[in-house]
Chains A and B, each alone.
Chain A
Amino acid sequence: MPLDPITAQVIQNRLSGIVQEMQTNIFRTGYSTIVRESQDASCMILDANGDVVGEHVILPLHIAALPEVIRAIYKAYGDRIYPGDAFITNHPYISGVTHSIDMAVAVPVFVGEKLVAFCTSIAHKSDLGGMVPGTGSGNARELFQEGIQYPPVKFTDRGQVIPEVEAILRANSRTPDVILGDIRGQVGTARLGEERLLDMVSRYGLETVLETFADLQDKTEKRVRRVVSGWKDGVFEAEAWVDNDGIQLDRPILYHVRIEKTGDRIMFDFSESADQTLGPLNVRPPLVRGCCYYAMVAMIDPELPNNGGLARVVETRFRRGSVLDPLFPAPTNTYMASATAVTEAVLQAMNGLIPKKKVAGMGGVGGMVIGGQRHDGSSYVQYELIGAAYGARSGKDGASGVSVLLDNAKTAPIEVIETEFPARVRRFELITDSGGAGEYRGGLAARREYDILAPKAQLTLRGGKHTQPPFGTDGGKPGRLGVCIINPGQENEQSLPSRFGGVVLQKGDVLLLEKAGGGGLGPPKERNWDALVEDVLDGYVSFEAAVSDYGADPDRLREILFDWTGGE
């Protein structure tokens, strides 16, 4: 009997409901602050082949990692997979996990003897060993410095926890209770998904559910191929840069993509990207494929299910030994900057296919860590992700002060920072003129400035776009570069690159951090006059830039400004 369209739709809705329930559960029961507060965790349901059938996106790259995890489990265990098992792995090479501080958990779902699905999650851990607390060091030169590596191993075997595995996990973390609590939370969440999935099977029948799994992916593949067929054939190239790998500070890293589109096929060739890096900027091919999925969904329809059907359409090519296909054991813990650059390059190349969905360069992403001692000797880690900006889009300005693309971090409240850490924020504002000028202006990035009150502290930055500006497009100007300066305007002023670790800060130092703004789109002189005037009044564009970049008539603008303020 063919699958009826209503049952298929009902099952699809339920599947996404189950994943959302898993997602809520993992945040609710998560032990570490990273899982609970930063919500750095994703849940997913995959079919028995390891293809995604149910997802609810928070962090899009996790979607690409989990199919690799399932393949690795099959490779390691073959048919020794049983009901009640739970697998863990964090290995970027063997299991395709994002980086080793992320732990994947997978629980097989059986109906009778038949393995029908996997309920899975990936969640960031507080510490799994390695060179520094928190495991990921910008100075790592090989995988072994990035914490202990777990290939797929059973955490529970047929319902029984394996004490030896717990003991190994415990012995290799600076925060053993927290990570075990989190892993148990992940297993519990997967079991919840299993229970809900089995309810669904008993209600609709196994055959119908499995047919729906296949149907969902077939539908997505069919839809994507149909859309791809509608694009013109051809070859489209683009590139993006990351300032440096955190170790060789003066060497920018190239990410190159060449898209070959023929009929309903699309190939993303990354062979011309830079060689693998000494520092941990490398990223493994499954995640680069995840960047392609991201770009395809973004370009086709944000509502498009990112499932195994899309994965079938995306063809990729890599060069062994490159930054996007590094050789074991090259380090990978700061892969996010590479993933973002790849995504930008892919989106830009795809503009050749879909000219009406253009996006200029995005502002700089990445975090800042200040670690040190308070006056009472207790140590603290202040971790912040400061808002970047969207590049201008076709017909639309870029959004300001916001997480972009693969990143989705919340801002840290100033009142919480000052209450908990020996730091005072001097200013927090969007940076005037940081959005690239254009008919459509790039989004503005944010500026934060701090007084360091701790006796001594160390600063680590995992930023970007201090030397490689967000590009403008169609005549738009690039976004303003980011900066990091200690003691700006003073004799001991020190300007820092976008990626480094362990710079010493003293009490009384001022730290200025400015993210890069988004690129502009279209010639600035074409910008709508009213929009330009509003930008000047809102403080987004300065009077000077309005005149020099946008060609505003200075007298007319001055008059408007005078009227607005009454000359005050």
Chain B
Amino acid sequence: MNNETGVRRLRVGVDTGGTFTDFVILDEERGTLDVFKVPSTRPDQADGIIGGLAEFLASSGDSASAVTFFCHGTTVGTNAILEGNGARTGLVVTEGFRGVYEVGEQARGAGSIIYDLFFDKPPRLVPGRLTEEVRERVGSAGEVLLDLDEESVRKAIRQLVRHGVESVAVCFLFSFKHPEHEEEVRRLFKEIAPNMNVSISSEIAPEIREYYRMSTTVVNAYLNPLLELYVKSLDDRLRQLGVGTDQRYIIRSNGGVASFDTARGRSVQTILSGPAAGVVTAQHVAESTDLANLVTFDMGGTSTDVALVKEGEAVRRMGGKVHNLDVLVPMLDIHTVAAGGGTIAWVDEMGALQVGPRSAGSDPGPACYGKGGTEPTVTDANVVLGVLSVAQPLAGGALELDRQAAERVISERIAKPLGLSVTAAARGIVEIVNVKMQEAIKVVSSNRGYDLRDFYLFAFGGAGPLHASQIAEEMGMKGVVIPPYPGVTSALGLLLSDVRHDYVFADLKDLDEVKPSYVASVLSKLRGDGMRQLEEEGFAPNRCHFVWGVDLRYIGQGYQLTVPLPDIPKAIEDLHQLRRRFDEAHLQLTGHFAPEERVEVVNYRVTAIASVPRAPLAVPLPEDASLELAHVGDTEVFFQDAMEKVPMYQRSRLAAGMEVAGPAIIIQNDSTTVLGPGQAGVVDGWGYLRVESRR
């Protein structure tokens, strides 16, 4: 039913991945969702988005003006990093300090890399020849030791322009304490080279530790021109299509969304845009249901992303490595492992079965896709084991699976060399990839002090539900949760996300020397910055709220913890309270604390949040249903020792409260869920399938 005017109000979430662009479209009045996928397009991802949206509108009969909200998850930044085709970028540094970027962390990491005589550092995004030094120096208290020498800046600008640089990062020592020199350089760029895209470190990552701040600023400069071009193209074409709403957003690495305008100058904050939305969905589920503790498990074709949601809150970190680059911006704590359905299995020279790290990708893809793939993949193993049924092709009928091809490659490449049956070899491939998944899950959970027995595995992505029930059972987790639309769970997160901006002010000082009034004034200023930003984006003050925090550490320690402040900073009468909370947080995270040691403040943080109306979590479920109606046939599946007949159920015909006993296969358009022997799946009131062990 349309409303009085006859025009629907549609909220659109679009998540662009490597293979597919996923759409989730919410009818605001009726609360119904349309979900679909179209192939992703290169080089311009906007083609697929505009094409898919136009097609939808044409078939639904809605006008483009019906779109009231548009939110997007993009891989433009990630792809530019992986393919090395970001902007030609220059760097401006304090005279005498070009080594900061060239040396970087200096250490190599851990594992086999330590033995690698042919080791190379990850390539720097700016070569030495595009690095310019200018005369200036600020001291550790923010005091100017050497004035900015304008002539040396002008010369640097002339050189960078001459070298065809499109984008520049500016990073001076202690600029987070004294941003004026960097700002002056930006002003001079505007004067001399007005088209230059300029990123300054005191704005992009105003925190202590020059290399990390510099690297973050360089990544920002490297991505900015591309992202700006992309966002502008998308913006223009949405308008041409007739989508007039100003509520156009991009999801960022911190799981919050930002307006097109805000997102494009801070491109470094969008590098985890792709995987962030799925975690937001999980967080929303954890907030809204009794499933408060979740580990997300987004298994796709070539990689798998895992993250942790504890008591309704996704775990975040204040920086880290993304695609081997050091970035110092708040982000969801997402761990990616390079294994998925397309990962290739092989036998090594010592006769051991290996899975990965190479992947068949989507082209040619697994052998069973029949597109010329000649190497056995995890997907092929699932076909041989019968869990991926030939009768139930992937991705809404886009592919017909070739079982013979899957059997052939596993037989020739794995089973024969190892002297195993084809099913045993296939089972082995799945076992090994599952162990890799378990190790990835441990990285975000037990390795960080969380007990997996308190968590459900929230499985989505094309391959997540296929593997989840076995993985969760082996790890002793509570169970598995499969959302209603596993294939578009990420896109759904785009309709669940708040607008979120993070602000930080770095000022290293002994906590005993910090006055509460100072803390209050710093946090108020950051709050003011956030309020202004949100107002500019059109949010009324009553829809905005703020989260405060202070980063503290024991003096001499290298890492800090963010201690949240429950109230507005005016209420900080007693900093000892803060101190106590830090000790407690330290104890919880590391198992020890040192109440007698001195503590120092590293950073002040404010997150400004504006809430946007969210998509409803519950999906409509059939009222008139029975297991018999849902039982659409049987199939042969190999679990332990032999192929056995197991029932197949249609997910959309399962009603709330219905229980499916394993072993069973539950099929739906965009994914297949496996229930192992001894497991049972129950559809809850929201339409989420919960799988638990009944043993």
Say if A and B assemble together: yes
User: What is the interface of chain A, defined by CB distance below 8 A to chain B?
Assistant: 4-6, 8-10, 12-14, 17, 20-21, 23-25, 28-29, 31, 33, 36-37, 56-58, 60, 181, 185, 188, 219, 222-223, 294, 297-299, 302-304, 306, 347, 357, 359, 385, 387, 390, 393, 396, 399-403, 408-411, 413-416, 418-420, 424, 426-430, 446-447, 534, 537-540, 564-566, 568
B605: CB under 8 A from chain A?
Answer: no
Known: A60-B115, A219-B350, A357-B117. A410 touches B129 (CB 8 A): no
Question: B435 touching A10 by the CB < 8 A rule?
Answer: yes
CA distance A415 to B175 in the complex (A): 10
Supply 26 A–B pairs (Cβ within 8 Å), ascending by A: A6-B418, A21-B442, A23-B110, A28-B448, A29-B590, A31-B592, A33-B557, A33-B558, A37-B558, A56-B111, A302-B116, A304-B115, A390-B117, A401-B99, A401-B104, A411-B106, A411-B107, A413-B210, A416-B208, A427-B96, A429-B98, A430-B98, A540-B128, A564-B129, A566-B159, A568-B155
Given contacts A29-B592, A538-B128, contact A403 B107 (CB under 8 A): yes
Chain B residue contacts of A222, Cβ below 8 A: 350
Cβ of A298 to closest chain B Cβ, rounded Å: 5
Give A297 to B427 CA distance when docked, in angstroms: 32
Whether A359 touches B117, Cβ cut-off 8 Å, given contacts A5-B353, A24-B447, A28-B591, is yes
Give Cα A36 to B591, complex, Å.
Answer: 13
Q: Which residues of A contact B449 (CB under 8 A)?
A: 28
Additional 6 contacts, C-beta under 8 A, given A5-B353, A9-B353, A428-B103: A6-B432, A400-B121, A415-B140, A418-B139, A429-B102, A540-B128
How far apart are A43's CB and chain B's nearest CB, in angstroms? 11
Q: In the bound complex, how far is the Cα of B104 from the Cα of A410, in angstroms?
A: 9
A177 to chain B: closest residue by CB = B594
How far does the alpha carbon of A565 sit from the alpha carbon of B508 in the complex, in Å?
40
B residues 611-645 near A (Cβ < 8 Å) are none
| Contact A57-B115, Cβ < 8 Å, known A5-B352, A565-B159 | yes
Give min CB distance, A422 to chain B, whole Å: 10
CB of B108 within 8 A of CB of A403, answer yes
State the B residues within 8 Å of A (CB): 96-100, 102-108, 110-121, 127-129, 139-140, 155, 158-159, 162-163, 173-174, 208-212, 349-354, 418, 420, 424, 427-428, 431-432, 435-436, 438-439, 442, 446-449, 508, 556-559, 589-592
Q: Chain B residues near A566 (CB, 8 Å)?
A: 158-159, 162
Q: Are A430 and B431 in contact (CB under 8 A)?
A: no
Residues of B within 8 A of A538 (CB): 127-129
Give CA–CA (A17, B162) in the complex, Å: 52
The residues of B that contact A294 with a CB separation of less than 8 Å are: 115
B105: contacting residue among A9, A297, A410, A540, CB under 8 A: A410
Is the CB–CB distance between B140 and A418 below 8 Å?
Answer: yes
| C-alpha gap A302/B109 in the complex (Å) | 14
Tally of A-B residue pairs with Cβ under 8 A? 211
Q: Do residues A298 and B352 form an inter-chain contact, with CB atoms below 8 A?
A: no
Most buried by A among B100, B115, B155, B350: B115
Q: Given the interface contacts A10-B435, A408-B107, A429-B98, does A419 sit within 8 Å of B558 by beta carbon?
A: no
Are B351 and A58 closer than 8 Å at their CB atoms?
A: no
The answer to whether B158 touches A568 (Cβ under 8 A) is yes
> A441–B112 Cα gap in the complex (Å)?
24
A10 near B431: Cβ-Cβ < 8 Å: yes
| Given contacts A401-B99, A447-B99, A539-B128, A396 and B210 within 8 Å (CB-CB) | no
A261 to B590, CA, bound (A): 49
From residue A403, how far is it (CB to closest CB) to chain B in Å? 5
Chain A residues whose C-beta falls within 8 Å of the C-beta of B432 in the assembled complex: 6, 9-10, 13
Contacts of B139 in A (CB 8 A): 418, 424
Q: Which residues in B have their C-beta under 8 angstroms from that of A303? A: 112
Residues on B with beta carbons closer than 8 Å to the beta carbon of A447:
99
Cross-chain contact B103 with A21 (CB below 8 angstroms) = no
Q: How far is the CA of A33 from the CA of B102 in the complex (A)?
A: 26
Report the separation of the CA atoms of residues A304 and B116 in the bound assembly, to the nearest whole angstrom.
11
- How far is the CB of B559 from the nearest CB of chain A, in Å? 7
Known A413-B208, A427-B97, A428-B97; contact A6-B159, beta-carbon cutoff 8 A: no
Q: 4 tightest A-B contacts by CB? A: A538-B128, A427-B96, A6-B428, A401-B103
B592 & A415 in contact (Cβ 8 Å cutoff): no
Contacts of A429 in B (CB 8 A): 96-99, 102
